[in-house]
Structure 1
Amino acid sequence: MTSARLWSFVACIFGLVAAAGARECEDEALPDMPSPRFVVIQNGTVKDARTGLMWKQCAEGLTGIGCARGQATALSWKWAMRRAQTSTFAGHADWRLPDRDELMSLLQRRCHGLDIDGVAFPNTPPGRFWSGTPATYYPGSAWRLHFGTGDMDYGTKRQSAYVRLVRDAHACTPVRPSTCLPHEDRLYEPHGSVEELEE
């Protein structure tokens, strides 16, 4: 085989690989376009149409349009849990830390890696965020998600990480009882317990 034919063959193979890669690479949503999955509500919350959860739009410490005011606050797990349990943001008193799977559900696959919807959740720090899920095999630890890399790992509860609060969108809240759906078995119970916080 002549060198010209060899180079043509190699170029053809690389072209096919590049074309296949281009076809497989599709963003779930463009970074500057809102995903139809997330509905931004004017009170600073975001409704997830896929999971039915309501998220606080800004990470703790950030406020305002585009979450542009303030500075994202990194807290220990214990203080993150307390922040959630005492929050009455947007008239709801049942905010909590998301569990591991709920937090992971915010990741969107991009051609360049993993990311979070920047329209629904603007100015999200590219760092670790706490979940409310303890790392069972590692006492005194809990799971965290890094929104810069998409990596899920665990850290000791004394370490600091960012916080994004979530609630069950149809849950009853004592701050505004009119938002409660009528159901005889529905009772308000705060998430977490004193035992969990003291670990």
Structure 2
Amino acid sequence: MRPIRLLSIPLALLAGLAVAQECVDWDAAPMPDPRYIPIQNGTVYDRSTRLMWKQCPEGAAGVGCTAGEPQTFKLEEAKRRARDWRFAGYADWRLPTQDELRSLLLQRCHGVGIDGVTFPRTPAGRFWTSDPATYYPDSAWTLDFRRGHLGYGTPREAFYVRLVRDAEACSPARPATCLPYSERRLEPHDGREPGAEGGNDQVDP
């Protein structure tokens, strides 16, 4: 009986097959991703991570994020905006961690991306995270949505911002994270700064 000869497949080819199974071409990508639940108040709930995201990058607003333009912020400006921002009835918005922001990346066969239906007008650029860059004083890590690379930003640099919150944090047990009813009625949902709303612009909760 002749010995059975096993096929020899180069490791590089196997690696290529593995990548081909894990990545998705742009045209074939399922959008919107069913893990996301868009809410009509301008937020998105992620069933996978249980986080609530502000649908628009800071600076953009409205349906489809068509109002305004995505803006870049220096690190302290980004932190202050997250700390002071009131949106969709919540007062506990913050900058995301590296892992939280990376969870939005959509792996492609050529580069990275994001679900552009759920998160429209996301710039292919660097976004701030809340994680400090340990070896660089007063700086923080950033995530590049063009290449998927982590980097660090210095206080003098300005990058994009997408805010997040812990979706289950607002509860009777932690009432400080929820805006009171009177404040929710006057809260703008079109991206204006707090305090810029007029008397005829009330938004029902």
Q: Distance in 1 between matches of 2:151 and 2:78?
A: 17
Shift of 1:24: 2.3
Q: Which runs of 5+ in 1 are unaligned?
A: 1-12, 173-179, 190-199
Asked if 1:24 corresponds to 2:21, the answer is yes
Give matches, 1:1-199, under 5 Å: 20=17, 23-27=20-24, 30-31=28-29, 33-172=31-170, 180=171, 182-183=172-173, 186=174, 188=176
TM-score (normalised: structure 1): 0.75
When residues 85 and 119 of structure 1 are mapped into structure 2, their CA distance, relative to the original with a 3 A threshold, is same
User: Alpha carbons of 1:187 and 1:158: their partners in 2 closer, same or farther (altered >3 Å)?
Assistant: farther
For 2:21, the aligned partner's letter is E
CA distance in 2, matches of 1:28, 1:45: 27
Deviation of the 1:158 alpha carbon: 2.2
Q: Equivalents in 1 of 2:23, 2:93: separation in Å?
A: 34
How far the C-alpha of 1:99 sits from its partner, in A, is 1.1
What is the CA RMSD across the aligned residues, in angstroms?
Answer: 2.5
The one-letter code sitting in structure 1 at the alignment partner of 2:113 is D
Inter-CA distance 28–188: structure 2 relative to 1 (3 Å threshold):
farther
Give the C-alpha shift of residue 86 in structure 1.
Answer: 1.0
Identity level (%): 54
Instruction: State the number of aligned residues.
Output: 165
Give the Cα–Cα distance (whole angstroms) in 2 for the partners of residues 111 and 49 of structure 1.
25
- Alpha carbons 1:31, 1:119 under 8 Å: kept: no
The residue matched to 2:141 in structure 1 has which SS?
strand
- Of Structure 1 and Structure 2, which has the larger fraction of its residues in helix? 1
For 1:187 and 1:65, locate their aligned partners in 2 and report how far apart those are by CA, in whole Å: 29
Q: Distance in 1 between matches of 2:114 and 2:20?
A: 22
TM-score (norm 2): 0.72
For residues 95-129 of structure 1, the C-alpha deviation after alignment (integer angstroms, 9 at most, x for no partner) is 00001111111111112221111111011011110
Aligned counterparts of 1:134 and 1:22: Cα–Cα separation in 2:
32
User: Gapped runs of 5+ residues in structure 2?
Assistant: 1-9, 178-205
